[in-house]
Amino acid sequence: MNVDGLDALLTQLRTLADQAQGQTTAPGAAGAPNDFADTLKTLVNGVNDRQGSANTLQQQFTMGDKSVSLSQVMVASQKAGLSFQAMLEVRNKLVSAYQDIMNIQA
C-alpha cells in the first residue's frame, strides 16, 4: 500500500469534513469526487495485488519451486497483511467520517 496514497486520501477526507462543516479548506487540498474514488480504488487494488502476489509465492513454495525461498514468502505475506490492516483502518476512518457528516445538523 502506498503511504503517499493514504496521505492523499486522509487529506481529502479532512477536506470533505471541513466543507461539510462550512469551514474553509487549504488551497490545493480539495480534489474532485472522482479523484477520491480513484484514489480509494487504487488503494484497494494495491492491497488485492499484494495478497495475490503473496498467494502465488506461497503456492510456488509449496509446490517445491527452488527459486522461491521461505523468507520471500514470509515477507510477502507480512506486506499483504499490513496492507490489509491499513486498508481496514482507512475504511474505519471513512465510516467514522460518514457518520460524523450524517450527524451534522443543518
Count of CB atoms situated within 10 Å of the CB of 16: 18
Q: Are 12 and 30 in contact (CB under 8 A)?
A: yes
Question: What tens digit of pLDDT does each residue of 41-83 get?
Answer: 888 898 999 999 999 999 999 999 999 999 999 999 999 999 8
- Using 50, 70 and 90 to split pLDDT, how confident is the model at 25? very low
Question: From CA 65, how far away is CA 86, in angstroms rounded?
Answer: 31
State pTM to two decimals: 0.61
Cα–Cα distance measured from residue 27 to residue 24, given in angstroms and rounded to the nearest whole number = 9
Higher pLDDT residue, 11 or 53?
A: 53
pLDDT at 2 over 60: no
Average pLDDT on 3-15 reads 67
- How far apart (Å, rounded) are the C-alpha atoms in residues 36 and 23? 19
